[in-house]
Amino acid sequence: MDANSRFLVRSFRRYYRNNRPIMPSRFGRREFGFMFFDKTFVQRHTAYSRNDDLHRFLVTQVPAHCYYSTAYYRNPAAPTMEEKGWLGADLIFDLDADHLKGAESMSYETMLAKVKEEMIRLVDDFLFGDLGFSVDEVDIVFSGGRGYHAHVSKESVQGLGSAERREIVDYVTGTGLDMDWAFPRHHIVTSQSPDGRRANISEDRLIPRTEDGGWKRRMRHGLEALLDDASGLDLKEFRTKYPSVANFKNDRLGKLMNELASSQKSILARNTLAPLSTKKVQEAVLSIMENDVRPALSGEVDEPVTADIKRLIRLPGSIHGKSGLRVTPLTRDQLTDFDPLVHAVPPEYGQEPMLLSMRRDLEVVFKGERYRLSGQTEAPEDLAVFLVGRKMADVSRTLDEEVIKS
């Protein structure tokens, strides 16, 4: 085990000595798994019937990562999945900064703030909103890394298979949303021959009504925003927000925006796109709604995690080995003001100055303080754990080995 790993083990052990694990519901029916600093495999197929036994394991073995199964089993410690005897599984939603557009160019702090915004939208709009779960039925957890988990352990969802769970993901993400359903075709007779045998029929599109729910309500709000933007944004801003019209020439785009702005009141009052001058203009609006508005209104979620009925997920109260941050359970109210780089830093790490070698120059805000670090430098232990865990720094070779012994 190298000096970096010994330092992290020392700090993690101090945390585990003072903190008992947070056991999930029905933990005796769950499988537990662990990864270690000096091993390349996952140790799994273990089970615990007592909190004390798991606590003792964490203190003595000091894993880098701790997991438990979202599934319940008859025999969770059995060596094969077939022998375990699946009984059901919690419904899990996982949001990670990796899924954010442009994440590669964001700072760690910016990624954390952005993914928290997405988590708030997921739980408020979809889990508590459209899907109707109560606050007591959804457990929110900061992953300790770059994202959040939402756990639904309600009995009615535990028996859902992978296919049903994927349908829930499709609903949250708006995958396959049919524009003919959201904006149904509407035909009216505009004129008729004297004998009634021939008629001229006009086609337009109805828009969702104010009293509609779910994705229809969401699309109406998106259309309202589009109509507002037609009069409130300039051409460049409009193109940036609605990329599907990015190739429109200025004259064409200007005419479209002017028509949307002038027709706004009539469209919303009549609940139809009929006030637009041509079918081609209506089609342009529908293209914007499908390609730009729908993705912006959808919820972010990692489909494989939600669909997996035998997933291992991070244990609340454990430490994330690649950040040193605590996997932190949160209420919905706590989520609003939660700052991982303040509230997920274990106080057990302390403030003892540590000598580090930075792998690259770095500016970071940690526990409300801004640090500019480069070369050979000092940092308080809690920040050092974070930097070493994220492989941004190394414990200096000149540091006394007694300080980092395990």
- Residues serving a catalytic function are 94, 96, 302
Angle between helix 381-389 and 3-18 (nearest 10): 120
SS (H, E, C) 136-148: HHEEEEECCCCEE
Give the span between the Cα atoms of 100 and 87, in whole angstroms: 34
Strands 353-358 and 376-380: antiparallel
Give the span between the Cα atoms of 324 and 344, in whole angstroms: 9
Is 124 strand, coil or helix?
A: helix
Would you list the DSSP string of 328-375?
Answer: EEE-HHHHHH--HHHHTS-GGG---EEEEEESS-EEEEETTEEEEE-S
The answer to whether the beta carbons of residues 344 and 143 sit under 8 Å apart is no
- Give the HSE-up count for residue 318: Cα atoms under 13 Å, Cβ half-sphere: 27
The answer to whether the beta carbons of residues 68 and 32 sit under 8 Å apart is yes
Distances in whole angstroms, Cα of residue 324 to Cα of each of 75, 145, 168: 32, 9, 33
Give the span between the Cα atoms of 70 and 67, in whole angstroms: 9
Give the span between the Cα atoms of 53 and 57, in whole angstroms: 6
Distances in whole angstroms, Cα of residue 95 to Cα of each of 146, 199, 219, 283, 299: 8, 54, 23, 34, 10
